[in-house]
Amino acid sequence: MTRARPAELEFVARDDPELLAYMSSIEAGGTGWINVEPLIAEDQEPPPPGPFAFLGGSTHKVPIVTWMPGKRAGDGTVKPTTVGLQHATGPRVASRLRDLGLPLPEGWRITQDHPRRGLVAMVPGEEDNAAVVNWLLLAATALCQVPSTGRWLASVHAGLA
């Protein structure tokens, strides 16, 4: 079985209408996810990890954000949306973000805060997608260890869950 290539979208605004339309489409279809990362100028790209990087901490100097909508259960209920943030800033990133003035929004529940695997949280189903994206991109900007261009690249994996 051949997998379709993800659709890619470059954007600047945190409430980009095309990105929000993709999110709505994935929610309606019930499968898929979106990864978003800041675009880095070529001369600012961090060096690739060395051959023994797997022994150390995270190598995500450029954070990667993942958004995956909740799945509909057999009884009609919808599980919470899941968001993730891979980063290379060490342990307890939720506390660090709170100290930076970016606490996890009310109602979000942390399911993982690990230095190598990143931060994962469950988002209540009634949360507005634009608000979710806004917080995720603010957090990624705060954790990015190299200067970014202010532009973002979304990889939309629709219907591939």
Per-residue pLDDT 10s for the chain (161 aa) are: 446 789 999 999 889 999 999 999 999 888 899 999 999 877 666 556 555 544 454 455 789 999 999 887 778 777 899 999 998 777 889 999 999 999 999 999 999 998 778 899 999 878 899 999 999 999 999 998 888 899 999 999 987 54
DSSP 133-147: HHHHHHHHHHH-SS-
Q: What pLDDT, on a 0 to 100 scale, did the predictor assign at position 51? A: 54
Give pLDDT, residue 58. Answer: 47
Cα–Cα nearest to 108, from 81, 73, 71, 90: 81
Residue where the block lists tokens 């608000």: 131
- Give the pLDDT score at 65: 95
What are the residue ranges spanned by the domains of the chain?
Answer: 7-38+58-70+80-158
Q: Which of 98, 104, 147 is nearest to 122 (CA)?
A: 104
